[in-house]
Amino acid sequence: MILFTCLCCTQLLSAQTKTIHVLVALCDNQYQGIVKVPARIGNGQDPANNLYWGCGYGVSTFLKKQPDWKLVHTIANPSANIYERLVFKHNSKNCYLVADAYNGAHMKQTITTFLDYAAGKQPVALNEPVVQAGGSAQLICFVGHNGLMDFQLAETPSPVNKRSRQVAIFACASKPYFYEAVKRTGAQPLIWTTHLLSPEAYTLDAMIDAWLLNDGATAIHEKVAQAYNKYQHCGIKGARNLFATGW
């Protein structure tokens, strides 16, 4: 009887665990249609120095400095086009965050994988700790250049189940470019953008903090805009107009 009770409790805790999966397309001067940045931070094959990963406001560096998150696992080259996978555990919430650094030369695969996850495809199971990520995550985020400005996808996946999933896309003008593709996946857009922006990690962090507090869409939008204005000094009105939530 005691063993049965413990198993039930374990299953219940597992069901309540939230997972966030972040796909970062490394900034790449050579392979992406971006405004060129200094060579050292624009090498999409060098995550340690990359603008969107290893620099001060890159996802890896920024999240490692946040007191709410503890890095519990680092996985080198988990797949052919991912240089590094980081697994974080929130210090006070039952939530894990998985962040992947994708080779900047393979933007199409990165976006294809992001949309597959949004549709519930390609679940990723990680051990030590046990984390259900990929298509099993509740929140799937894309960070980087908007590759759909450079190419079109032949097809977009449809949802494989009725589980609720949300997406966030921190890339230039992501709402107009990703609208139809996200619609077909069945996921709900939490945050995306209307114009050009710098996809640095402070907006991602602000959104996640608000999401974990179960803030509504309006409050999450405001916190993201406030964070962007804090670092970019663009004016709060401009920041609010830059981000959008929902359809």
3-state secondary structure of 31: coil
Contact 181, 160 (CB under 8 A): no
- Output the average pLDDT for the chain: 93
d(CA 56, CA 183): 33
> Does residue 161 surpass a pLDDT of 70?
yes
Longest distance between any two alpha carbons in the chain, whole Å: 64
Q: What is the pLDDT of residues 219-229, one digit of tens each?
A: 999 999 999 99
* Residue 15, CA distances (Å) to 9, 114, 137, 161, 163 in order: 10, 23, 12, 16, 12
3-state secondary structure of 247: coil
Per the structure block, which two tokens stand in for 115? 């949309």
Q: How many CB atoms within 10 Å of residue 188?
A: 16
* Residue 172, CA distances (Å) to 84, 141, 175, 179, 197 in order: 24, 14, 9, 13, 5
- pTM beyond 0.75: yes
pLDDT of residue 10: 35
pLDDT of residue 35: 93
> Does residue 39 surpass a pLDDT of 70?
yes
Q: CB within 8 A of 127, min separation 6: which ones? A: none
3-state secondary structure of 204: helix
> Does residue 134 surpass a pLDDT of 80?
yes
With bands split at pLDDT 50, 70 and 90, how would you rate the model's confidence at 29? very high
> Does residue 2 surpass a pLDDT of 50?
no
87 closest CA partner among 53, 56, 52, 131: 131
DSSP, residue by residue, 11-22: HHHHHH-EEEEE
* Residue 13, CA distances (Å) to 74, 93, 211 in order: 24, 12, 19
Per the structure block, which two tokens stand in for 168? 């966030």
pLDDT of residue 15: 52
Q: What is the CA radius of gyration of the chain?
A: 17
Segment 134-149 mean pLDDT: 98
d(CA 216, CA 219): 5
pLDDT of residue 128: 77
pLDDT of residue 114: 98
> Does residue 12 surpass a pLDDT of 60?
no
Q: What is the pLDDT of residues 181-209, one digit of tens each?
A: 999 999 999 999 999 999 999 999 999 99
Percentage of the residues of the chain whose pLDDT score is greater than 70: 94
> Does residue 4 surpass a pLDDT of 70?
no
* pLDDT higher at 9 or 188: 188
* pLDDT higher at 240 or 3: 240
Q: How many CB atoms within 10 Å of residue 68?
A: 16
Contact 75, 87 (CB under 8 A): yes
pLDDT of residue 136: 97
Segment 142-163 mean pLDDT: 96
Name the residue ranges covered by the structural domains of the chain: 18-244
